[in-house]
């Protein structure tokens, strides 16, 4: 919710507690080119514009600076981040449990990213690592991360306009599993908060396929955990790609719990979450960096 829902997440990380029909994954529509846009920093719904410089043009996205911004500060960049999430998550291993149409995986995750950012006005959760293949910021790798619960949007906050519906194509029989999964995720974050205090929550970490194998996801993850270390906070994520668990461990994350959901009607398919946490460096006995060319996209919530 690190290649593609550190998040982690099947729904917006801020609204994982809400299992009503208002949630984007409880409804349905393909993500369209005519999708609603983010409010700009000058619109009444947005906060005053902050300092969010664009990444400079350069030959290697690995050399580009990491940019952190609120979605309303740069709506165009926010949409590009959503595209990266869609591209990164289209091969997420839990996709075929919830949907039988692979052609819609990218659109679905792009819309989930859009809804997550749209619901996060005022929160500097977008972390972008840009490139220059087109003469400008590429947002080749993206992470959505924030301090939980300090920067979490209240559950009773009004639903913003422009939310995209997303349940068309979802297998109806998986809805109860989705609801149980979301309740589980919410309960586990609350439980972790009670024992460890506020923590850095990595909701999404994604790299566009053409930029994978360049260490971009590893660099973003290290940037986020460095921030957590400086504040003396733990970092927390839900891994959905088992191939990434070992790599997270090399970044200092530890496995807390693994849960798997299956349905008899869907033999051979499953949903898996591996809860992982990383102590601040001062309390971590050994923090090793993952090989830069192995870290893949992962969805977290």
Q: Show Cβ contacts of residue 158 under 8 Å, excluding neighbours closer than 6 positions.
A: none
Q: What is the pLDDT of residue 192?
A: 98
Residue 207 is predicted with a pLDDT of 92
Assess whether the previous peptide bond of 283 is cis (omega < 30° from 0). Answer: no
pLDDT digits (tens, 9 = 90+) for 15-38: 444 433 343 333 333 333 345 566
Query: What pLDDT score was predicted for residue 41?
Result: 61
Domain 7-300 fold: Aminopeptidase (3.40.630)
- Write the pLDDT tens digit of every residue in 68-102: 999 999 999 999 999 999 999 999 999 999 999 99
What does the pLDDT read at residue 3? 39
Most confident of 47-61, 130-144, 284-298: 130-144
pLDDT in tens, 120-156: 999 999 999 975 543 334 799 999 999 999 999 998 9
Q: What are phi and psi of 259, to 5 degrees?
A: -135, 140
In sign, the C-alpha dihedral spanning 249, 251, 256, 258 is negative
The predicted structure's pLDDT at residue 38: 67
Give pTM, 2 decimals: 0.77
Q: What is the pLDDT of residues 170-228, one digit of tens each?
A: 899 998 998 899 899 999 999 999 999 999 999 999 999 988 888 899 999 999 999 99
Q: How many CB atoms lie within 10 A of CB 273?
A: 27
E-assigned strand segments in 108-198: 126-129, 141-148
46 or 108: which carries more pLDDT confidence? Answer: 108
Two tokens, residue 134: 């087109």
């Amino acid at each position: 919710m690190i290649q593609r829902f550190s998040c982690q997440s099947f729904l917006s990380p801020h609204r994982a507690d809400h299992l009503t029909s208002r949630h984007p994954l409880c409804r349905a529509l393909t993500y369209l080119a005519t999708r609603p846009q983010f409010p700009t920093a000058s619109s009444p719904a947005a906060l005053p514009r902050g300092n969010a410089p664009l990444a400079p043009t350069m030959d290697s996205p690995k050399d580009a600076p990491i940019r952190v911004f609120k979605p309303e500060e740069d709506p165009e960049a926010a949409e590009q981040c959503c595209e990266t999430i869609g591209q990164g998550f289209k091969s997420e291993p839990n996709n075929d449990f919830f949907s039988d149409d692979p052609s819609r995986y990218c659109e679905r995750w792009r819309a989930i990213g859009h809804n997550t950012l749209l619901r996060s006005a005022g929160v500097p959760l977008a972390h972008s690592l840009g490139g220059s293949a087109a003469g400008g910021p590429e947002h080749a790798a993206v992470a959505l991360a924030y301090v939980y619960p300090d920067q979490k949007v209240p559950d009773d906050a009004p639903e913003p306009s422009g939310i995209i519906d997303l349940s068309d194509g979802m297998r109806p029989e998986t809805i109860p599993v989705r609801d149980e999964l979301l309740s589980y995720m919410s309960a586990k974050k609350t439980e972790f908060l009670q024992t460890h205090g506020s923590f850095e929550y990595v909701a999404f970490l994604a790299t566009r396929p053409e930029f994978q194998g360049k260490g971009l996801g590893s660099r973003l993850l290290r940037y986020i955990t460095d921030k957590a270390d400086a504040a003396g906070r733990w970092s927390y994520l839900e891994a959905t790609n088992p191939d990434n668990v070992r790599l997270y461990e090399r970044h200092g994350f530890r496995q807390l719990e693994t849960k798997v959901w299956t349905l008899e009607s869907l033999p051979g398919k499953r949903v898996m979450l591996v809860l992982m946490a990383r102590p601040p460096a001062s309390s971590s006995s050994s923090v090793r960096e993952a090989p830069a060319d192995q870290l893949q996209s992962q969805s977290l919530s």
